[in-house]
Amino acid sequence: MIRKRPYLMNTILLLTAFVISIALGAVFIPPETIFRILAAQIPGININPDWPNSFSAIILAVRLPHTVLVVLTGAALGSSGAAYQGLFRNPLADPYLIGVASGAGLGAVFAMSLNWPTNLLGFYLVPAGAFVGAILTVVLVYNLARVNGMVPMTTLILAGVAVGAFASAMTSFLMLRTDLQLHRAISFLLGGSPMAGWNPVIAALPYMLAGMGMLSISGHMLNVLQFGEEEAKQMGLNVDRAKIFIIVTASLTTAVAVAFSGVIGFIGLIVPHMIRILWGADYRRLVPLSILGGGSALLLADMLARILLAPSTLPVGIVTALAGAPFFLWILRRAKREVFW
Amino acid sequence: MLKIDSLTVAYGQKRVLKNITIEALPGEIIALIGPNGAGKTTLVRAVSGTIPTESGQIYVNGKDLSRFSTAERARVLAVVPQTRQLGGAYSVEQAVMMGRTAYMSWLGRESQEDRDAVRLALEQAQLQDFADRSIAQLSGGEQQRVLLARALAQSTPVLLLDEPTNHLDLQHQTNLLSLIKRLSIEKELAVLMAVHDLNLVSFFADKVALLVGGELITFGTPQEVICAENISEAYQTPVEIIPHPVTGAPIIFPQGALEQK
């Protein structure tokens, strides 16, 4: 059942996590009430509001937008992680580990130092800065890590760490030198406080849908690239065009996630890896499944972040790193035995 | 069918292939031989379009390939790469289906024609029973047949092979080359193949091109090209050549080894 119906399983998982996430908080709101409150929003449906007024405000203005943003962010990180892994032909590529997330963070903070987002226009400036930062970083890391047309694990991680460290240092420098709201910027970089309300959701949505939509259709290109660029070209793939398409869309998707939720590591590593183990490595399926799985995984991490030290909230980036770093080491040990996957 | 006309390839200032002219007709196997570094693999890569050429043309059915897009080229010319270890991500059928990339839209949606071509290619490479197996679980000889089937799925009139029998044992070498020989005749493929083992060449090739230092020394039938003089000179080691008692195909003995005895 689990192996045969991957889309169904992942959708059920995501919807379950979605409902639990809305239910959890300072006040527990039972799922049944959540459904009734949501249904009451649909025009033409009349439901007698037998719940406290505050419940619909909590759900509609706070928990629902927060949950939607977390799902979008996780989906973006999961799918761009899958795409980077395919592009680099390397199971350890993750937007965080290869420095792209840090590059996007630098771009975002740079944009914030110009204009901290107080209006909707400002919201669009931050992702643009993150996008430029992400693209520059991925191109730099890719070229630094490349040896004879291959991107070996060691050089990829080393280049990612070096470039990521440089970007983080530049980010800190920017935060100290400009009159940025330091506390908010730091907590943003930890994946701490996704901006509240519907504005970030509305601002992120078009980029996210475009980015993830384009990643979903790049599965065949990613499959063919697994045989190496030379063979991919001999099979008739326009390799340069495919690479640019994938780099731009994966970086766009990562950048938007970073711009609205901060630098969150390891989702792009763990999710595609689990899906590959359960449902195989065909990228035509791996990428869309990583969208669904990424949403569920980050929701789970976000719920833990809210529960563990309740009533205060941990930055979700800390939770993903605590779970992700051991996972990374496990993959590293496994990957040593694999020549090609 | 395949015509390579005065082809020159350079890496920076160094010319690694000089003025090569070779023609392959339908149903013909042309073997590229020569010592290490002679330019055999370079020639295969240049013809397949993976490295740029300095001058000269490559024609398939009279059409100049330099005007072709990547996909158009992959519809007339398929490459079987050197044997190597393939990992476990794809089934045999999935891997062979990727040979249809040049016919698919960039979404990679498979048409009935693609599925038919893959089924035929699997049959031709004797892999029909392996379709659902993971490529990582196959032996070296079977993996090489997957790469052959992937190239056959491209439905091209020309097939290029880059030392396809490296790392295969005697039985698998013979099987693979017999298969290629049969397919070249049945499908009227023009085959250009870089090979190391001269005895296999003399049995399976219709024509032989001897390359040394990037130059084409001679081009002709195995009997014409594989003679003691040519081979001793090209490989810088004395050899003795005797005709096979039944077929007359030249058989090569390194003389150094004979003297040791």
* Phi, psi values for residue B10, rounded to 5°: -130, 140
Q: Rounded to an integer, what distance in angstroms lies between the CA atom of residue A305 and that of residue A299?
A: 10
Domain end: B99, B119, B154, which one?
B154
Return the percentage of chain A with pLDDT > 70, whole number.
88
Q: Taking CB atoms and an 8 Å limit, are A238 and B69 in contact across chains?
A: yes
Residue B222: closest CA among B240, B238, B245, B199: B199
Question: Given CB atoms, is A149 within the 8 Å cutoff of chain B?
Answer: no
User: Are B29 and B182 contacting, i.e. CB atoms less than 8 angstroms apart?
Assistant: no
Mutant choice from B50, B97, B150 vs A, greatest count of A C-beta within 10 A: B50
- Residue B101 and residue A235: Cβ atoms within 8 Å? yes
Residues B67 and B163 in one domain: yes
CA dihedral B128, B131, B133, B138 (to 10 degrees): 50
Domain assignment of residue B243, yes or no: no
Q: What is the mean pLDDT of residues B11-17?
A: 88
Could you tell me if residue B247 is inside a domain? no
Inform me whether the pLDDT recorded for A340 exceeds 60.
no
Q: Is the pLDDT of residue A328 over 70?
A: yes
* Confidence category of residue A189, pLDDT binned at 50, 70, 90: low
The 10 Å Cβ neighbour count of residue A248 is: 16
| B177-194: pLDDT as tens digits | 999 999 999 999 999 999
Neighbour-count burial of B109, counting CB atoms closer than 10 A to its CB (0-12 exposed, 13-18 middle, 19+ buried): exposed
For residue A99, give how far its alpha carbon lies from the nearest alpha carbon of chain B (Å): 26
**HSE-up of residue A281 (Cα within 13 Å, Cβ side):** 22
The pair of structure tokens assigned to A64 is: 């629902």
Least Cα distance to A252 among A78, A113, A76, A82 occurs for A76
- CB pair distance less than 8 Å for B70 and A219: no
Place of tokens 């490559």: B58
Q: How far is CA B236 from CA A15, A306, A310, B230, B231, in A?
A: 72, 76, 80, 10, 8
Q: How many domains are there within chain B?
A: 2
Longest CA span, chain B: 62
A227 lies within 8 A of chain B by CB:
yes
Bridge partners of B191, per DSSP, are B29, B159
Mean pLDDT is lowest, of A3-12, A144-153, A309-318, B57-66, for A144-153
- Strands (E) in B102-197, as ranges, are 158-162, 190-194
pLDDT at site A184 = 64
Interchain contact, B69 vs A341, CB within 8 Å? no
CB-based contact, A231 to chain B, within 8 Å: yes
Q: Tell me the per-residue pLDDT of B112-168, one tens digit each, with 9 for 90 and over.
A: 999 999 999 999 999 999 999 989 888 888 999 999 999 999 999 999 999 888 878
Inter-chain CB proximity B101 and A224 less than 8 Å: yes
Q: Is residue B57 part of a domain?
A: yes
Residue B9 reports pLDDT greater than 50: yes
Starting at the edge strand that comes first in sequence, how are the strands of the sheet with B55-60 ordered?
Answer: B63-64, B55-60, B2-11, B14-24, B215-220, B207-212, B29-33, B190-194, B158-162, B77-80
Residue B242 pLDDT exceeds 90: no
Q: What percentage of chain B's residues is helix, strand, coil (to nearest 5)?
A: 40, 30, 35
Distance separating alpha carbons of residues B150 and B254, to the nearest angstrom: 37
Of residues A7 and A52, more confidence is placed in A7
Residue B5's CATH number: 3.40.50.300
Nearest to A272 by CA among A10, A63, A1: A10
Q: How far is B226 from chain A (nearest CA, A)?
A: 31
For A198, the 3-state DSSP assignment is helix
Of A269, A314, A277, nearest to A100 (Cα)? A269
Q: Is A226 an 8 Å CB contact of chain B?
A: yes
The confidence score (pLDDT) of residue A341 equals 40
pLDDT tens-digit profile of B32-89? 999 998 999 999 999 998 888 999 999 999 999 999 999 999 999 999 998 677 766 7
DSSP B150-166: HHHTT--SEEEEESTTT
Same domain membership, residue B176 and residue B49 = yes
Is the same domain home to B72 and B185? Answer: yes
Q: Based on C-alpha coordinates, what's the Rg of chain A?
A: 20
Q: Are residues B168 and B220 in the same domain?
A: yes
> According to the model, what pLDDT value does residue A240 have?
85
ipTM of this predicted complex?
0.91
* Residues B31, B55 within the same domain: yes
Rounded Cα gap, residues B16 and B39, in angstroms: 6
Does the pLDDT of residue A207 top 90, yes or no?
A: no
In this model, does residue B212 exceed pLDDT 90? Answer: yes
Does B205 have pLDDT greater than 90?
yes
Nearest residue on chain B to A234, alpha-carbon basis = B74
Query: Are B222 and B104 members of one domain?
Result: no
Upstream peptide bond of A311 is cis (omega within 30 degrees of 0): yes
Secondary structure (DSSP) of A160-172: HHHHHHHHHHHHH
Instruction: For A301-312, write each residue's pLDDT tens digit.
Output: 999 998 888 777
Residue ranges and CATH numbers for the domains of chain A are 6-335 (1.10.3470.10)
**Partner B contacted by A288 (CB < 8 A):** no
* Same domain membership, residue B124 and residue B26: no
**Which two structure tokens, joined as six digits, stand for A27?**
């006040």
Q: Which is higher by pLDDT, B111 or A49?
A: B111
Helix axis angle for A6-23 and A283-307, nearest 10°, is 20
Count CA atoms within 13 Å of residue A218 on its CB side: 30
* CA A32 and chain centroid, separation: 30
**DSSP tag of B109:** P
End-to-end CA distance of chain B: 47
In a domain, B94, yes or no: yes
In a domain, residue B130? The reply is yes
* CB contact at 8 A, B223 and B208: no
Distance CA(A274)–CA(A287), nearest Å, equals 12
How many Cβ atoms sit within 10 Å of the Cβ of residue B232? Answer: 17
d(CA B113, CA A185): 56
pLDDT digits (tens, 9 = 90+) for A53-112: 888 888 988 899 999 999 999 999 999 999 999 988 888 888 888 888 899 989 988 887
Q: Give me the residue from B69, B88, B150 closest to A341, CB to CB.
A: B88
By C-alpha distance, the chain A residue nearest B51 is: A230
**pLDDT digits over A165-186, tens only?**
999 899 888 887 766 566 666 6
Label the pairing between strands B215-220 and B207-212: antiparallel
User: Among all chains, which residue has been given the structure tokens 């970086």?
Assistant: A251
**Interface membership of A313 toward B (CB under 8 Å):** no
The reply to whether B256 falls in a domain is no
Helix-, strand-, coil-residue percentages of chain A, each rounded to 5: 75, 0, 25
Most B-contacting residue of A215, A223, A235 (CB-CB within 10 A), to test interface: A235
Q: Any CB–CB contact under 8 A between A278 and chain B?
A: no
Please name every residue paired with B22 in a beta bridge, in sequence order, or none if there are none.
B4
* Three-state helix/strand/coil letters over B83-106: CCCCCCCCEHHHHHHHHHHHHCCC
**What is the number of other CB atoms lying within 10 angstroms of the CB of residue B243?**
12
Q: Give the per-residue pLDDT at A53.
A: 84
B163 and B222, same domain (yes or no): yes
Its domain, for residue B7, covers 1-76+156-227
pLDDT digits (tens, 9 = 90+) for A112-141: 777 655 555 666 777 888 889 999 998 999
Three-state DSSP state, B250: strand
Q: Which residues of B are less than 8 Å from A237 in CB distance? A: 70-71, 101
CB of A322 closer than 8 Å to CB of A94: no
CB pair distance less than 8 Å for A236 and B150: no
Do A65 and A261 meet the contact criterion of CB atoms below 8 Å apart? no
- Interatomic CA distance for residues B118 and B76, integer angstroms: 16
Q: Are B5 and B125 in a shared domain?
A: no
Minimal C-alpha gap between B246 and chain A (Å): 40
Kindly tell me if the per-residue pLDDT of A284 is higher than 60: yes
Last-in-domain residue among B110, B138, B154: B154
B183 and B223 inside one domain = yes
Question: Which residues are CB-contacts of B20 (< 8 A; sequence separation ≥ 6)?
Answer: B4, B6, B7, B8, B43, B56, B211, B215, B216
Taking the C-alpha atoms of residue A273 and residue A281, their distance in angstroms, rounded to an integer, is: 9
Domain closes at, from B154, B172, B192: B154
| Statement to judge: residues B146 and B122 lie in one domain | yes
For B55-65, letters b (16+ CB in 10 Å) and e give ebebebeeeeb
Confidence class of residue A339 from pLDDT cuts 50, 70 and 90? very low
Task: Choose the mutation target among B107, B137, B154 for the interface with A, i.e. most A CBs under 10 Å.
Answer: B107
CA dihedral angle for residue B193, residue B198, residue B204, residue B210, rounded to 10 degrees: 50
- Is pLDDT above 60 for A337? no
User: Same domain for B148 and B167?
Assistant: no
Q: Is the pLDDT of residue B25 over 80?
A: yes
Q: Residue B94 and residue A236: Cβ atoms within 8 Å?
A: no
Centroid of chain to Cα A36: 30
Q: B261 in a domain, yes or no?
A: no
Q: Render pLDDT for A209-251 as a digit per residue (tens, 0 to 9).
A: 999 999 999 999 999 998 888 899 999 999 888 988 998 899 8
Q: Is residue B175 part of a domain?
A: yes
Q: Show residues of chain A in contact with B107, CB under 8 Å.
A: 217, 220
